Amino acid sequence: MTLRRPGSLQRRLLLAVTGAVAALWLATAVFTYWEAQHELDELLDAHLAQAASLLVAQAAPVDGDLRHDDAQDGRHPDPDDGLVDAPRLHQYARRVAFQVWHEGQLVMRSPTAPDTPLSTLASGFENRTLADETWRLFATHGRENDVQVYVAERISSRSDILWGMMRGLLGPLLLALPLIALAVWGTVWRTLRPLGQLSRALAARQPGDLAPITLPEAPPAELEPALRELNELLARIGTLIDGERRFTADAAHELRTPIAAIRAQAQVALAATADDERRHALQATLQGCDRANHLVQQLLTLSRVEAAHHASGPGTPPPPLVDLAGVARAVVGELAPTAVARQQTLALEAPDTLPLPGNDTLLRVLLRNLVDNALRYSPEGAEVQVRLTQDSDGTHLEVEDSGPGLEEAELARLGERFFRKLGTGVSGSGLGWSIVRRIAAAQHAQLQVTRSTRLGGLWVRVDWAPPSPI
């Protein structure tokens, strides 16, 4: 099965507009023809009636005879024959005919009229065929009922007049149709020129060129939103590609150290002669594998968070409601064994339910990183508190600890990739805070970090604004 090549938009638009103009012209021509024919028939019928009235006025009975005044030559009818033939004074006289009858006798006629009555109609208009020719006829009585007058006109002469009028009216418009089509083609071509420019700009692009698309001319209002969305899409694609490149570079850089450590410990285990030394080297190898696995998981999490954040756009549907209190209880429950093992106090203050629009997985990762960092960087016996509240300003998550906290310079760098406070002796990847900041941005939340005035360690607050009223 072969797909038909889509037709040109310019060609289709040109044909549609030209066809519409031609159809409108044809409809106008038909209406004009009908209206002109109607008006012409009424006008010429009025002329027939007027001509009949003149004949009635010229023919008047006197003493039982019909007196005929010939206005053209001043002669009177011969009483022997009683018939007068009107002279032909114009070349179009053959297109009209008239008869005057008195008491059943033809007393006057035109050269184009026969000897027999033109019609049996006593009064009014009718169309009648005489000698294979259709005539428009008007019949009327004279001043006396024994006088009958007929006036007729060839229908073909009316058609000639009508077509002459139509040629004068519609002929110039018919000649103007090609000019109209040319004007339509030029207008369509100029209107669609930005689409051609956009098509050529896209065709000339290199695969890796994600710079915004610009046109030589300012795009029309209808094309500007599509061009803006296209440029925003290119920007998001560029961000995703940069994130993938950064992820690859970060993974290659950060995995080099644990892999080298694992290799060194494996070599120590191979060279060891004592069981204790070999066991110690193998345990160090396992710890190195755990650190490498943790680093990989954190890198993958950060990559997914960034991809989800940049993939979301104006058309993204609103997220579902998540019970943030339930998520917090689950995370605290998972990390409670770690706190118990280090004799730390881990407390949670939260309502029974706390609905919040968001992503369940991302919120879980955000909470786990915050609580895990508080436990990890706080000494044994420290206190970590997690608090969830909701008021008219929105939803709030607070995590604070009694650990050493951070200096102002360290707080400023918090969230940089692979940044870790030196001298803590705690293993980590330095990606936890980067993940927290990216998730907060993806979930449209505000993040605040400072020193806890109550416990003395680090105080972190995440704020979600209340949902907008519908």
Strand extents, DSSP E, 363-456: 383-391, 394-401, 445-451
Residue whose C-alpha is closest to residue 458's, from 385, 397, 401: 401
**Domain final position from 278, 311, 344:** 311
pLDDT band at 452 (very low <50, low <70, confident <90, very high): confident
pLDDT band at 388 (very low <50, low <70, confident <90, very high): very high
**Domain final position from 142, 164, 186:** 164
Q: Determine, yes or no, domain membership for 216.
A: no
What's CA 28's distance to the chain center, in Å?
33
Q: What is the CATH number of the domain that holds 20?
A: 3.30.450
Same-domain check for residues 36 and 145? yes
Same-domain check for residues 69 and 97? yes
Q: Are 55 and 100 within 8 A, CB to CB? A: yes
Same-domain check for residues 300 and 329? no
Same-domain check for residues 288 and 405? no
Residue 443 phi, psi dihedral angles, 5° rounding: -95, 10
pLDDT band at 75 (very low <50, low <70, confident <90, very high): very low
In this predicted structure, which of 1-5, 120-124, 451-455 has the lowest mean pLDDT? 1-5
End-to-end CA distance of the chain: 49
CA atoms of 312 and 398, how far apart (whole Å): 27
* Non-local CB neighbours of 64 within 8 Å, separated by 6+ positions: none
Average pLDDT over residues 144-160: 85
Q: Are 85 and 72 within 8 A, CB to CB? A: no
pLDDT band at 266 (very low <50, low <70, confident <90, very high): confident
Q: What is the CATH number of the domain that holds 252?
A: 1.10.287
Q: What range does the domain containing 356 cover?
A: 321-464
Residue whose C-alpha is closest to residue 398's, from 333, 350, 342, 334: 350
Q: Determine, yes or no, domain membership for 212.
A: no
Same-domain check for residues 26 and 123? yes
pLDDT band at 313 (very low <50, low <70, confident <90, very high): low
What's CA 17's distance to the chain center, in Å?
20
In this predicted structure, which of 89-98, 160-169, 233-242, 270-279 has the lowest mean pLDDT? 89-98
34: left (phi over 0), alpha (psi -120 to 50) or beta: alpha
Q: Determine, yes or no, domain membership for 66.
A: yes
CA atoms of 99 and 185, how far apart (whole Å): 60
Q: Determine, yes or no, domain membership for 195.
A: no
Give the pLDDT confidence score for residue 68 in this predicted structure.
46
Q: Determine, yes or no, domain membership for 306.
A: yes
Same-domain check for residues 24 and 157? yes
Same-domain check for residues 51 and 150? yes
Q: Determine, yes or no, domain membership for 96.
A: yes
Q: What is the CATH number of the domain that holds 337?
A: 3.30.565.10
**Domain final position from 136, 164, 192:** 164
CA atoms of 91 and 111, how far apart (whole Å): 12
pLDDT at 397 over 60: yes
Same-domain check for residues 76 and 121? yes
Q: Tokens in use for 314?
A: 């104006």
Q: Determine, yes or no, domain membership for 206.
A: no
Same-domain check for residues 156 and 245? no
Average pLDDT over residues 237-260: 68
pLDDT, tens digit (0-9, with 9 covering 90-100), for 399-426 = 998 887 666 666 655 645 544 554 444 4
Same-domain check for residues 138 and 269? no
Q: Determine, yes or no, domain membership for 173.
A: no
For residue 265, give Cα distances in angstroms to 88, 207, 256, 275, 291. 134, 45, 14, 14, 14
Cβ–Cβ contacts within 10 Å for residue 241, how many? 12
Q: What is the mean pLDDT of the chain?
A: 76
Same-domain check for residues 363 and 437? yes
Average pLDDT over residues 180-199: 79
Rg (CA), the chain: 52
Same-domain check for residues 228 and 331? no
| The total number of structural domains that make up the chain | 3
Q: Are 347 and 308 within 8 A, CB to CB? A: no
